Amino acid sequence: MASGPPPTGPSRGKRRLALGLVAILVVLAVLTVASVMLGARSLPARTVWDALFHFDPDNSRHLAVRSLRLPRTAVGLLAGAALGLAGVVMQGLTRNPLADPGLLGVNSGAALGVVLGINVFGVTALSGYVWFALAGAAVAAAVVYAVSSLGGAGVTPLKLALGGVALTAVLSSATNAVLLLDVGTFDQFRFWQVGSLAGRDEDVVAQAAPFVAVGALVALALARSLDALALGDDLATALGRRVGRVRLTGAVAVVLLCGAATAMAGPIGFVGLTVPHAVRLLTGPGHRWLLPYSMLAAPALLLLADIAGRLVIRPGELQVGIVTAAIGAPFFMALARRRRMGAL
């Protein structure tokens, strides 16, 4: 019996993209296992298996897997996925390929929220930071959006960017002022500020996971609207998209995603910037594939950076925020230079 013709054109492209998504998922699964096994003291696969399915509370290695490695890996997966999606949405909303989740003042708002939680309310546990970080991120984004909506043109990408930069400067100054006046607050805050997956427990994961889930669903649902927005506000409106509503919904998604990620792991830079650009080389500009690809590739990058930080100076470790900065800063400079040369 003769078989049908091989897939060509769009169907072949979709099949390639689907296979690529599966490949990234496999890589992410391997890195997840490696994150649980590797560290200052590496653990064999058998020990990890027993810790998961035959847990012995008197076994120190089983306790390390359950109380340290698993929560750390879960934070990496959730925070990475959140930062990857938030980066795509931010770049789509502002039509600025150099935008990252901190552009709306979300990171600085979360930082000020944590500082106030420590200084005013006496919060000492990471699980308590989550709510203050989310509240600070939400307030910052709301202020930026409200300021950007002033004037006859309404909310525009340029206004969002300028409003975010201005508010970031104000919030960062307020945060530094509190830290300079209270050494105790600074001592607690600096461990969160560096950006790390270490020291997190299951309570932090449980509190942040619902926000990441809702934010991810909202971001994925915006795929077609972001494609229309890339064509310009006038054409997006002609295609039936309510531009203002799309931007507001996207801002909500960024707050939920970036606020939860920052609350869990601290301000981790460059993941939301570098991953969408790397993924576009495979998927093109369409958000229907760009969003799910980034949602899987970003946690893979974050786990890889965390594993590298644990192994490079054993038995000590580099915090993941330092490793991602070392990876992302050269990429950012190369990207900025490339765009500048392209504009000449």
pLDDT tens per residue, range 279-318? 988 898 899 999 999 999 999 999 999 999 998 888 888 8
| Euclidean distance between CA atoms 272 and 80, whole angstroms | 8
76 phi and psi angles, rounded to 5 deg = -60, -45
Domains located in the chain, CATH noted: 96-267 (1.10.3470.10)
| pLDDT at residue 76 in the model | 95
294 phi and psi angles, rounded to 5 deg = -65, -35
| Euclidean distance between CA atoms 262 and 268, whole angstroms | 7
Q: What residues have CB less than 8 Å from 333, skipping those under 6 apart? A: none
The single-letter code of the amino acid at 211 is: F
Of 151, 162, 128, nearest to 263 by C-alpha is: 128
Per residue in 237-272, pLDDT (tens digit) is 888 888 888 988 998 898 899 888 988 888 888 888
Binned at pLDDT 50, 70 and 90, residue 10 comes out as low
| pLDDT at residue 1 in the model | 46
On the question of pLDDT at 70 being above 50, the answer is yes
Q: How much of the chain exceeds pLDDT 70, in percent?
A: 92
| pLDDT at residue 216 in the model | 96
- Mean model confidence pLDDT for the chain: 85
Of 2, 299, 319, 260, nearest to 138 by C-alpha is: 260
Tell me the helices (H) and strands (E) count for the chain, helix number first: 15, 0
| pLDDT at residue 154 in the model | 66
pTM listed for this prediction: 0.88
| pLDDT at residue 344 in the model | 41
Per residue in 202-217, pLDDT (tens digit) is 888 888 899 999 999 9
Per residue in 98-154, pLDDT (tens digit) is 777 766 788 889 889 989 998 888 887 777 778 888 889 889 888 888 888 777 666
| pLDDT at residue 328 in the model | 76
| Length reported for the chain | 344
On the question of pLDDT at 62 being above 50, the answer is yes
| Euclidean distance between CA atoms 252 and 264, whole angstroms | 18
- Contact between 43 and 37 under an 8 Å Cβ cutoff? The reply is yes
- Contact between 215 and 260 under an 8 Å Cβ cutoff? The reply is yes
